[in-house]
Amino acid sequence: MLGVLVAGAVSIHAQAGLAASLELGRGRCKSRVARNYERPLEGFPADRLPSRAELRYGPDGVRLRTLPRRRVALSGSKIGFEVGVSRKDSASGLLRHPRHLGWDVHLQQWSVDPQGRPRHLVRRFRWRLGTVRRTDGPDLTIRSRPGIYRFDFTIEGPNQRMLKSYRCYVRVLPRRAAVHIVTNGARFQAGDTVIGQIQNMGTVPVFLESTPYLRLERFQDDRWTEIQTGSGPMWGAESVLLAGGASACAGFPIPNEAGGRYRVSAEVEVSRRGRLWKGVVTKSFAVDVRS
């Protein structure tokens, strides 16, 4: 039996009594974003990142992979680039024909103002890349604390000749778990339809364990009893809500002549410090019988 996660283990909560205004259109939530963590970066200059194609200035088959893929990362995550080489010329991860780079890679990490302009230099790194012998080549990443930063990368070849420069903006967030269910009201009448949605207001992923992922329960005979499952999509086990993400909506027609205490519930798992904490998140509401 899953128990409700409590403070001290991980911050999971349902905002009881919150009459959330879900934007509904034809019974579906219009928004699948609960919190836009990239909003402070809107209006910043565009990133300059490597394309997926092979690097024109590098040996055959050499690529750079950007980390993270989005402009948002968690504290302690890798930020920067990883060098990779096509597996066509490899055996068990080792290259039959190693690639000689001879690169000097420089990284500067800047804190920035609200317009994305550098304020002060936070850190500076340098990597010397000689010969790559594996398909998963050198790791050109660092780990950063919460904040908004600009990362400047320059790649120099022999004789300090500039080969390429890159730039990316990343918001680094603290690791925080916070997930709740919202509904289209706090009080209903029998025969109404309740719309529910799971929102990940934290920064770590939330795994949805229920299938379907939302359920309607009624309090009767001193316990909560499931009376129906949501009309939303049948998500498979461990569907994921990323930071700031929201589930699709599920609709629950409330039975006629059945007032009392109700709740919408979901089973979730939340990643915290490398471990998964399992529990149930709920949103309660009252139902009146039509007179």
The tens digit of pLDDT for each residue in 167-184 reads 999 999 999 999 999 999
The tens digit of pLDDT for each residue in 95-154 reads 888 999 999 999 999 999 999 999 999 999 999 999 998 888 889 999 999 999 999 999
Q: Which residue has the higher pLDDT, 72 or 232?
A: 72
Q: For 157-274, list the strands marked E by DSSP.
A: 162-173, 179-183, 187-189, 193-200, 206-208, 215-220, 223-229, 239-241, 250-253, 260-272
Does residue 237 belong to any structural domain of this protein?
A: yes
Tokens of 224: 């909560």
225 and 116 in one domain?
no
Does residue 64 belong to any structural domain of this protein?
A: yes
Does residue 11 belong to any structural domain of this protein?
A: no
Q: Which residue has the higher pLDDT, 162 or 93?
A: 162
Distance CA 287, CA 291 (A): 12
Does residue 6 belong to any structural domain of this protein?
A: no
pLDDT at 33 over 80: yes
Q: Domain of 104: which CATH number?
A: 2.60.40
Query: Per-residue confidence at 263, pLDDT binned at 50, 70, 90?
Result: very high
Q: How far is the CA of 230 from the CAs of 157, 208, 214, 226, 233, in angstroms?
A: 59, 14, 6, 11, 8
Mean pLDDT of 3-25: 35
pLDDT value of residue 4? 36
pLDDT at 79 over 70: yes
Does residue 9 belong to any structural domain of this protein?
A: no
Taking Cα atoms as reference points, which of 32, 74, 89 lies closest to residue 177? 74
From 120, 145, 173, the end of a domain falls on: 173
90 and 32 in one domain?
no
148 and 79 in one domain?
yes
239 and 132 in one domain?
no
From 131, 146, 173, the end of a domain falls on: 173
Mean pLDDT of 44-71: 87
Q: Which residue has the higher pLDDT, 210 or 40?
A: 40
Distance CA 5, CA 12 (A): 6
Residue type, 167: R
pLDDT at 3 over 60: no
Q: Are 162 and 153 in contact (CB under 8 A)?
A: no
187 and 164 in one domain?
no
The tens digit of pLDDT for each residue in 90-104 reads 777 888 889 999 999
* Domains: count for the chain: 2
pLDDT value of residue 231? 53
pLDDT at 278 over 50: yes
61 and 163 in one domain?
yes
Name the 3-class secondary structure at 193.
strand
Among the ranges given (9-18, 97-106, 190-199, 223-232), the one the predictor scored with the smallest mean pLDDT: 9-18
149 and 45 in one domain?
yes
Tokens of 70: 């989005």
Domain of 225? 24-36+176-288
Distance CA 64, CA 105 (A): 12
pLDDT value of residue 48? 94
Percent of the chain with pLDDT over 70: 84
- The pTM for the full model equals 0.79
Q: Domain of 182: which CATH number?
A: 2.60.40.1930
pLDDT at 237 over 60: no
pLDDT value of residue 29? 65
Distance CA 248, CA 265 (A): 14
pLDDT value of residue 53? 66
pLDDT at 22 over 60: no
